[in-house]
Amino acid sequence: MLKVLFVAAEAVPFIKTGGLADVIGSLPKELVKEGVDARVILPKYSEIPSHYREIMEPVHTMEVPVGWRRQYCGIEKMEYQGIAFYFVDNEYYFKRKGLYGHFDDGERFAYFCRAVLEVLPHIGFAPDILHCHDWHAAAIPVMLAAHYRHAYPDLRTVLTIHNLLYQGVFAREVLGDLLSLGNDYFAEDKLEFFGSVNYMKGGLVYADRLTTVSPTYAQEIQTPYFGEKLDGLLRDRSKDLYGIVNGLDYDVYNPRIDDCIAVPYTWRSIGRKCKNKMKLQEHVGLPVRSDVPVVAIISRLVAAKGLDLVAHVIEEMLASDIQLIVLGTGEERYEGMFRLAAHRYPDKVSANIFFGEDLAHKIYAGADVFLMPSCFEPCGIGQLIALRYGTLPVVRETGGLKDTVQPYNEYTGEGNGFTFANYNAHDMLHTLQRALAIYPQTDIWERIVRNAMRSDYSWCQSAQQYHELYQQLV
């Protein structure tokens, strides 16, 4: 049986800051169905809920080298939904508020990477592949090549880029001080990056295979605009780079059994979706009207999510007979923009400047249109949830949005949403207006909703692609 150990900084349900955690919480479960023995190793953060920490069982304790230091490492284990999770315990590094953004993140994750390689002989599991995720685990392929190849001659590595924007760039001194690497590794074809050390770059150079979270993003990051100064390296390694779309956990996001929504429904009973809309309108304090299209934005309120486009045309958007429901937090200018819109148009706009999972489910089930005009989007999860709930996405053709939302074609009846190509506010507005023009045509609208809800973006297909990639390696 193929054995794979996922190495990541976060995972649902233990700790989450973004989509990475959803992937690590879902993909191993699907790989097990494919016949893979998939397990996960994470830092043991103090912010992991106590009811999980209390049932973790000790496996081993040892010391781990971090440059000239030797640091305590405890390994604990628990099973969750049939998956074995290991936790690296060190309170000095992980008993803190927040996962990232600390002054010593370079040291914290150098320790984590080294700990993973050190504990392998002691956990009763000898993986064929270490599947490393993002910069936090990207030093593992480098350390494996430099320090552990004799110990694990057949061990292979896969590095997945979830967002190339975040690379783990630190001062040159970390090379020897934290990673125990000589000056020969401070080279253009290794870890050197404009006078600093780049953990992500090291992983991109040394991992056996590279993946990212959609085919389009895999192409985009090989260009200067999206490549974050690593596009040349990615072009050099293009034959080893695969784009595999993230899936969605269909057990968590399922309008047929979702406890958060008022009325369950499927693609065969989409007429019931309107009841969720009316309950949603009542919940957020908007006039209860079945005839008005409800447009939803569930997002971090930052420029990268395309909210500068919304800012340019929000008055024109609200000139249409629509209701706009916003959920999320972020930059003050966008929070203020939506608060002001809600104040000026109390019958049209509901600004919920917080994040609540329960309300998010209600909005996905009750809205008609999901607006996601991102500047860039490696994969995106919002549009996948919207499709699952029959809320038609209006998205820009970038990254995973382009790969998962097919524009509606009035001639063939195909398509599950609406898309625009240029990063332009009025292109976005015209695409939204096209959707709103179709909305009153009930037969056509319901056909697109059925197309959306029947789109398969579960983890099944993605897991099969990962399984094939693993088999190539071993």
Please determine, for residue 459, whether its predicted confidence score (pLDDT) is greater than 90.
Answer: yes
Let me know the angle formed at the C-alpha of 197 by 221 and 127, rounded to the nearest 5 degrees.
Answer: 75
Q: Are 365 and 255 in contact (CB under 8 A)?
A: yes
Nearest alpha-carbon partner for 147 in 182, 171, 105:
182
Nearest alpha-carbon partner for 10 in 98, 81, 116:
98
In angstroms, rounded to a whole number, what is the distance separating the alpha carbons of residues 427 and 310? 11
Please determine, for residue 17, whether its predicted confidence score (pLDDT) is greater than 90.
Answer: no
Query: Where does 228-280 show beta strands of DSSP type E?
Result: 241-243
Domains of the chain: 3-247+460-473 (3.40.50.2000), 267-456 (3.40.50.2000)
What residues are paired with 372 via a beta bridge? 395
**Per residue in 381-427, pLDDT tens?**
999 999 999 999 999 999 999 999 999 999 999 999 999 999 999 99
Q: Are 400 and 378 in contact (CB under 8 A)?
A: yes
Q: What backbone torsions phi and psi does residue 4 show, to the nearest 5 degrees?
A: -130, 130
Q: How confident is the model over 358-383, as a mean pLDDT? A: 97
In angstroms, rounded to a whole number, what is the distance separating the alpha carbons of residues 249 and 264? 17
**Per residue in 278-332, pLDDT tens?**
999 999 999 999 999 999 999 999 999 999 999 999 999 999 999 999 999 999 9
Residue 138 is predicted with a pLDDT of: 98
Q: What share of the chain is helix, strand, coil (3-state, %, to 5)?
A: 40, 20, 40
Q: How confident is the model over 198-215, as a mean pLDDT? A: 98
Residue 19 is predicted with a pLDDT of: 86
179-214 CB burial, b ≥16 within 10 A, e <16: bbbeeebbeeebbbbeebbbbbbbbbbbbbbbbbbb
Beta strand 57-66 with 69-80 is: antiparallel
Residue with tokens 């090379």: 175
**Per residue in 32-61, pLDDT tens?**
999 999 999 999 999 999 999 999 999 999
**Residue 453: which residues within 8 A CB-CB, separation 6 or more?**
255, 266, 267, 270, 387, 388, 389, 390
Residue 187 is predicted with a pLDDT of: 96
Q: How confident is the model over 433-440, as a mean pLDDT? A: 98
Q: Are 391 and 297 in contact (CB under 8 A)?
A: no
Please determine, for residue 251, whether its predicted confidence score (pLDDT) is greater than 90.
Answer: no
Residue 276 CA: distances (Å) to CA of 14, 182, 255, 273, 299? 30, 61, 10, 5, 21
Query: Where does 283-368 show beta strands of DSSP type E?
Result: 294-298, 323-327, 349-352
The single-letter code of the amino acid at 129 is I
In angstroms, rounded to a whole number, what is the distance separating the alpha carbons of residues 312 and 426? 8
In angstroms, rounded to a whole number, what is the distance separating the alpha carbons of residues 120 and 153? 13
Q: What is the mean pLDDT of the chain?
A: 96
Residue 15 is predicted with a pLDDT of: 95
Packing angle, helices 425-438 and 307-319, rounded to 10: 40
Please determine, for residue 18, whether its predicted confidence score (pLDDT) is greater than 90.
Answer: no
Which of the 8 DSSP states describes residue 122? Answer: G
Give percent above pLDDT 70 in the chain: 100
Tokens of 316: 């024109």
Q: How confident is the model over 107-120, as a mean pLDDT? A: 98
CB atoms within 10 A of CB 259: 7
**Residue 461: which residues within 8 A CB-CB, separation 6 or more?**
245, 247
Q: How confident is the model over 167-194, as a mean pLDDT? A: 96
